[in-house]
Structure 1
Amino acid sequence: MTTPLLRPSPLLRLGTRGSKLALTQAGLVRDALAAAMPALSAPGAIEIVAIKTTGDAIQDRPLSEAGGKGLFVKEIEEALLTRRIDAAVHSMKDMPTAQPPGLAIAAFLPREDARDVLIAGDVRRIADLRQGAVVGTSALRRRAQLLHRRPDLQIVNLRGNVETRLAKRAASTVEATLLALAGLKRLGMAHVGTPVPEDEMLPAVGQGAVCIECREDDARTRGWLAAIDHAPTATCVAAEHAMLAVLDGSCRTPIAGHAILTPDGGLHLRGLIVKPDGSEAIATERRGPAGDAEAMGRDAGHELKRRGGPGFLST
């Protein structure tokens, strides 16, 4: 009788959502860790664990009606806290502004292009969509910015992963939709639409960034993740999230923000709040030393909050 070979237990278990994009991003983290840490380069050293989240299960209504931010990370964070996984790979734009006690964001991959993409057949610009065109999106940020520029558009809820939304657009369920360019690039699908200038559609806070979360007391995992952490991305996201935290932002509020590092070693942050019906938009920006990223973000958030006044984001 032959004794079956026992597979060695993985040294690191990476949790992620089960969509094609999420698994692709987890694969990028696995490959980066394997390249940076010899201990993790052996076959089977890193296991990717797909976890279904509440956000994946809800397909019949906007996430803003179901609880907002955190719906794509709750079950994954629970798996971290119960030690079913050692680290979690998230799209940063899905992350709330604070982590549960005992968890921390320990690393970022280099950020991809943060812009949105318009997918509308031969139409390349929002301004060129026909009068009254039907546009599908579940993001309040996109909806509000679209209506601010084009109040004639009909905005309908469009949920699902990248492939599902593209299929609905191709089937003429909607005439146009918008997706994050970063995700399309990671899936090798950047050709399906046209990037929208940030002057027309400011990205979501954290868009294009992949973060890795782990337990605060897990020194071994934190050491491995430190080897792949992309500090420039961490700095830019810190500014954006500091602004978002002041605004108490979630999926229920149309808030946009994007920070970049400038050639002179500084940081440029742009922030925007929009009324849900698109009737009013308030923008601000900050420039300063990259070391002041969080302070700049907080200052920008306080300005937007002051200028918007009570109830701006809920009217």
Structure 2
Amino acid sequence: MTRSFRIGTRGSALALVQANWVAARLAEHGVPTELVIIRTEGDDRPIDTAWGEGAFVGRIVGALLDRSVDLAVHSAKDVPTDEDTRLVVAAYPPREDPRDALVCRVRGTTLATLPHGARVGTDSPRRTAFLRAVRPDLRMHPLHGNVDTRLAKLDRGDSDALVLAVAGLTRLGHADRIDEVLPASVVASAPGQGSLAIQVRADDAEAVAAVVRLDDPDTRGAVEAERALLNATGGGCRSPIGAIGRVTDGVLELVAGAERTWTP
């Protein structure tokens, strides 16, 4: 009989949606699981501060290494590229849309029709850099919190627009809030955005065998290429670098962009 696997996850609404999705897919294969909620450094940061590299995965990785959990569900974009050699990403499941979305206080507004000097909330240097390249008049300002918190701040007038991941909005049932999906040629996606990364201990053959059933080869090829590019630049998840890969009929296409003045 397959043992029950403990899934390490953050306790945010989005993280729980993602972890429960993985648990449901494993259950379809007869693999029992239980969720273990872990509070990360990113969760403990002051509400109006940005997170550092690996802030949302460090403590979950620690629990995996000390065997408090058997597998971890991460947003792939949050996983540092210098992965511990004792761990392996056993599955990148089929990916959601990796692009960013514009969500506006005045519905139906687009990037082109945002008023001159409109306030756009984001805590991402990447999104800030790419938006300034096409709309230098926009007033970019830091806006932190989870998706629901950011939407509430938008609705109360703290900003005129937000830039959020299509995947996160979709998974949380907020796709109806999207006013425009931003083309990757305008705002290049964060490497790994839209993909889950299911991590296990490399020496846990039973966990590897259970999780690898959820792996999507095309998603893996695209995400690993994006992460390799990010690693080669010396950048991290807070760097103004975007990359989006696509595998079609076994051929990988990778499109990337970076802020012109950025250096690692």
Give the drift of 1:314.
4.4
Alignment partner of 1:61 is 2:49: yes
Please give the TM-score of this superposition, normalised by the length of structure 2.
0.94
Partner of 2:262: 313
SS in 1 for 2:60: helix
The residue aligned with 1:157 is 142
In the alignment, is residue 73 of structure 1 matched against residue 57 of structure 2?
A: yes
Q: What secondary structure is seen at the aligned counterpart in 2 of 1:104? A: strand
Query: Superposition pairs for residues 98-137 of structure 1, below 5 Å?
Result: 98-120=82-104, 121-137=106-122
Deviation at 1:137, TM superposition (A): 0.3
Separation (CA, whole Å) in 1 of partners of 2:175 and 2:221: 26
Distance 2:92 2:28 in 1: 15
Q: How does 1:1-315 map to 2 (within 5 A)?
A: 11-36=4-29, 38=30, 40=31, 45-58=32-45, 59-63=47-51, 68-120=52-104, 121-193=106-178, 194-262=180-248, 264-274=249-259, 280=260, 312-314=261-263
Work out the CA distance in 2 between the residues paired with 1:95 and 1:251.
Answer: 8
Q: Answer with 124-133 or 162-171: which moved more.
A: 124-133
Say which structure is richer in helix: 1
Q: Which has the higher contact order (CA 8 A, sep 6+)?
A: 2
Question: Cα–Cα, structure 1 residues 211 and 57, in superposed 2: closer, same or farther, change >3 Å?
Answer: same
Question: What is the identity, as a one-letter code, of the residue corresponding to 2:70?
Answer: D
Unaligned runs of 5+ in 1: 1-9, 275-279, 281-311
Once the two structures are TM-superposed, the CA of residue 131 in structure 1 deviates from its matched residue by 0.9
SS where residue 70 of structure 1 aligns?
coil
The 3-state SS of whatever aligns with 2:262 is: helix
Aligned-CA RMSD value: 1.4
Aligned partner of 1:306 in structure 2 is: none
Q: Which amino acid aligns with 1:51?
A: I
1:136-186 Cα distance to aligned partner (Å, 9 max, x none): 101111011111111111111111111000000001101100111111111
SS at match of 1:126: coil
Displacement after TM superposition at 1:265 (Å): 2.8
Distance, in Å, in 2 between the alignment partners of 1:171 and 1:23 is 26
Per the alignment, in what secondary structure is the counterpart of residue 127 of structure 1?
Answer: coil
- 1:122 Cα deviation (Å)? 2.3
2:80–2:237 contact (8 Å) kept in structure 1: no
Runs of 4+ in 1 over 2 A off after TM superposition: 121-124
- Seen in structure 2, the aligned counterparts of structure 1 residues 205 and 32 have a Cα distance that, compared at 3 Å, is same
In structure 1, what residue type is equivalent to 2:229? Answer: M
User: What stretches of structure 2 of length at least 5 have no aligned partner?
Assistant: none
Number of corresponding residues: 259
Deviation at 1:249, TM superposition (A): 1.2
What's the CA shift for 1:32? 0.9
